[in-house]
Structure 1
């Protein structure tokens, strides 16, 4: 805090300079004995703008610095921890020993619960756990799977479950098959642990056959029909031809790989054709460019031969003959001369 006075003094100086510009910056510079400023060839408007920016930056810096000091409790001899379930944070401090200041970092762990607070939270969780897992169902009529939670409200509470009839309701909360229509009583027990503390909750339930959706009901009937018409010792598993009194026709479900290969082939063929067409167009463009380059040379040579007294036919034959010899000796291919071969 000992350097904060600077932020109070500097704005005063800037203010004097800023408002003195109206009377002439050089005058204010002379008044403040800032001799190096009096030699600058800057108009008063630019100076006022620059000073205003510096003044605003100084105010912002002061606010940030003062706010940081006000929010800090290090001068009072303590640091604030984050609330329960918070994060450990690192606080940068300056330690002064015998007038010598040294920077130091302190790790501040979040607040932990007392044993009394843990007991209260564990009791509250035990009271709410039944309504949480039932999700609107009645304990006397359960016909949907239960979602057995393993923790409570992001607290470090571990919850484990045990049922006295795992053949009716398994330890994951799923309703098993073969439950009589009148229902079956089951005792579900939850064990809540928080470190050394433990609390047990017993929940009596009556489990009824699971209420199935359309697909679930069909799958259940198919499984029952397959199980009733087969023996695990048989080499083949016989698929029933009737389910629920209705005729059934079975088909192997394809993996879809054939269609993938087909579409991949079509895509490859399309890309290949596009590439060929594009390459053909490029080659044709190069050929036309070569023809435009060769034609003047070809015409010039024919004119020279005609002027030498050759007939048109002889001139063409002579030019073609010379071109063949050039190619045979490793000369370059000329599109224009290829036209007369």
Structure 2
């Protein structure tokens, strides 16, 4: 016990020394953080020195603005005095201004012609700048403002070529120089249709001027020998919607007929595929001693149970058998029900079967079992042929994706090869 107490006392003294050693960390961190923050603030707030050591202040370049600097001057009084120094931009000498003017004028045509080939072939707007090189201003005037204004935009249309003088004043500080630039404006280069429209608009303007005193403007009834008609709104452009509606109606009718035809073909295939199975069951049940009607009923009940238990999907032949069975249950004569069965199926094999059953019911048929077995053998052969034909059709349908894949592969091979050759 004494040993454990001494050990705890030693650990307590050690922890106290550690705490005493950490007491100076917080003040030191505070001082260091303040120093770093002060340095950052001073560094970010410090502006570059405007005055060099030899007492010079830089000017802005040609065309710049005046700048004001707050400068502390030592030596005027006992203490440094703040003085605001205004420094203007650099200006050209006369020789420098003349040199700049010459450079601008040497390149003036390329600068202002815009989309026109030369200033002697002007059909589109010009680009007349107001600023040139540093400190140089350009001021434009036109001898024919209605043809070309001071911004370079073309005004009224000219019927024949017309010479226009553009007056240019270059100024750089106190130095100025005037120039004259000849420009030849040509009539617009129009197609025959565009020219006819322009002539018609000109005729409209003439009619408007002539009829200014009239309450109504009478539009020309003909132009260049052709009768004119007017309306204030463009045609709606919605006429194709009517045609689209007719096309959609035709497509819907065609789709409905096509869908009905496909359903009919699918039903016929089902009937043909099920005929051999249906006939074989009839033969087996009749051989077991059941009458045709009882065999029919047994097949219907087995089919309905299989469909109800989801062990079999609905099949067209058996659905027709069900309808025939319920017709007999509701009082229809057995022979008539068999005859209706064949008519609904619309296939020669079913018509033949319904005929055999009706004849057996009406007058009895010798060797019915042998006849049905022969018919069953023929039905099996027909089923084999149908299955073979369906397989061939499926193979034919698969050829299109195969050819498509072949074409894609050929394109992937040939395109890089042709690009390499190119």
State the TM-score, normalizing by the size of structure 1.
0.48
State the TM-score, normalizing by the size of structure 2.
0.40
Q: Which structure has greater helix proportion?
A: 2
Larger radius of gyration: 2
Larger relative contact order (C-alpha < 8 A, sep ≥ 6)?
Answer: 1
